[in-house]
Chain A
């Protein structure tokens, strides 16, 4: 863009020059522009790299703390012999179990919300019924509602139903946000599938759901995968519901970390190792689905 402009600029700029403020003219000598543009571009990358390092520093500090020997936690030296002691100490307690609980709950909740949510998203995309906007808005509002509003009724109901401190109970509660995410996101992916393909299938005698299974779903498969990953991550990340709705049996990894903080003194390497382990799947997934992540994280924010 700037290269095409430099060729034109002197010609086009000359006539209105008297009208423009005089100070402005020497600021853009045609000869210097390529060099300043080059500098500007690389200066920008340099600045971005510096800011990135500063922003990620607190996170990286946590990770390096996980590999420090316990006796070197309070050392100033940045060089140390990395050790896995912090991670090894996690093997002894209940942390592995909570990690497993997190995996099960997140998977269960993801599968349930996909099973229920994907057909609903498809119906909402292809079926322009009256009240469709209201349904869409309702689903958006459930994303907005504060968890505390749901927690008190769920806490009381789960006590009564015997679902408190169970993995199933927690997975069901996670539907409150995951279902909204699935319905919202999958609509955008189904909208990208041309309806003409399905109409052709109808003519060939396919039913609605046969056309969905054979045509729309395979074409939306990458979106489906990304949606599944996001559901998993949102369930994995939850702390509030898990804190309130679990006691001992169904404790998830985030709650286990807090228990370390509260009951096991200040074993920083152990705590940092647990934090690193819990962050690991999320960071891996972020890299895997970064293209779709934007949509999921801003779901409802940008109508794309």
Chain B
């Protein structure tokens, strides 16, 4: 393995170099092991026990390890939360991709104004999520909301969108889209800037329409990025928490109770830690599956055509 071709290389130097690098890497790996793999293992073990606040004595009983998972299959509220999660994720990811792509095409230009607009458009994504939740709490609270007041002036008063089971999930999807469309915007802009000019010019000379240029050249170029973006946002959408916590608290009824939120309620409102762990394991499994998809689909394959 060590390359003996370098003239100044002695075997001892290579070994020393390896040892030095190992020394630099070891603390980080040890800490990562302690704070990621160990908790993950603890979560798995915990999910096999009936651990809860009311039953600390029964904490480490393994007589029926799959009891939590069996309950999950019969728990209507859990199954409902998965359906809610899928609806919310699908809606917000599609919206984000659409808005992000559209804005990226609009902002892909060389003027200074566009360049500073590109920075300003990042603000929703970098704001603390709790501030985003606060912003939308204000927008969705009829008393103080500029939206509700404007609609009232137009003679179209609407009731609070987050108090209505039919619209609450959509209201959250809109807020989530507002927060996260800049991610797609950033990635698509980066892809657009690495797009070679020749195919576009050639196609233009051949008389392609603007739609054809977009459909067959631009879209073909940014499609891998869009796929990666979609998967990343899909994975992150399972973590949606502050928006739901502040805007609806899972309600009205269970209309906006996503799986993550249900796990939070079971673990930290009811202190059913074992059951909460089982829910978290299900989410973790979903995330792993999707991450594996990211690895397969885009992230590894297009590393050669993004320029550095």
| A interface residues, Cβ below 8 angstroms from B | 1, 5, 9, 12-13, 16, 20-21, 24, 41, 44-45, 47-49, 51-52, 55-59, 61-62, 65, 73-74, 76, 116-117, 119-120, 122-124, 126-127, 129, 135, 137-142, 144-157, 172-173, 175-176, 179-180, 183, 202-203, 207-209, 212, 233, 236-237, 239-240, 243-244, 254, 257-258, 261, 266, 268, 271-272, 275, 278-279, 282-283, 285-287, 290, 293-294, 297-298, 300-304
Contact = CB atoms under 8 A, between A and B. Distances in A.
Contact of A207 (B20, B103, B186): B20
9 closest residue pairs by CB, A with B: A120-B28, A119-B24, A208-B20, A20-B207, A153-B39, A254-B130, A127-B21, A153-B42, A123-B21
A149 B36 CA distance: 10
B54 interface: no
A56 B187 CA distance: 20
Residue among B207, B268, B283 with max Cβ neighbours from chain A (10 Å): B207
B268 A47 contact: no
A147 B20 contact: no
B138 A62 contact: yes
A61 to B, nearest CB: 6
A147 B32 contact: no
Given A62-B135, A236-B128, A258 B245 contact: yes
B18 A55 contact: no
B215 interface: no
Residue among A57, A140, A153, A209 with max Cβ neighbours from chain B (10 Å): A153
Contacts of A44: 106, 109, 111, 114
Given A149-B39, A153-B42, A179-B28, A286 B119 contact: yes
B36 A150 contact: yes
A161 to B, nearest CB: 12
Contact of A51 (B31, B103, B149, B190): B103
Contacts of B31: 116, 175, 179
A5 B291 contact: no
B60 to A, nearest CB: 12
A12 B202 CA distance: 11
Interface in B263-305: 263-264, 267-268, 273, 276-277, 279-281, 283-284, 287-288, 290-291, 295, 299, 302-303
A65 B138 contact: yes
Contacts of A126: 21
B42 A233 contact: no
A233 B130 CA distance: 13
A190 B249 CA distance: 44
Interface stretch (B61-69, B158-166, B234-242): B234-242
Contact of A147 (B21, B134, B239): B239
Given A44-B109, A152-B280, A12 B205 contact: yes
Residue among A129, A254, A275 with max Cβ neighbours from chain B (10 Å): A275
Interface of B: 8, 13, 16-18, 20-22, 24-25, 27-29, 31-32, 35-36, 38-40, 42-43, 46, 103, 106-107, 109, 111, 113-114, 117, 119-131, 134-139, 143-144, 146, 149, 178, 182-183, 186-187, 190, 197, 201, 204-207, 209, 225, 228-229, 232, 235, 238-239, 241-242, 245-246, 260, 263-264, 267-268, 273, 276-277, 279-281, 283-284, 287-288, 290-291, 295, 299, 302-303, 306, 308
A302 B242 CA distance: 26
B308 A237 contact: no
A48 B114 CA distance: 7
Contacts of B103: 51
Contact of B283 (A56, A117, A146): A146
A48 B113 contact: yes
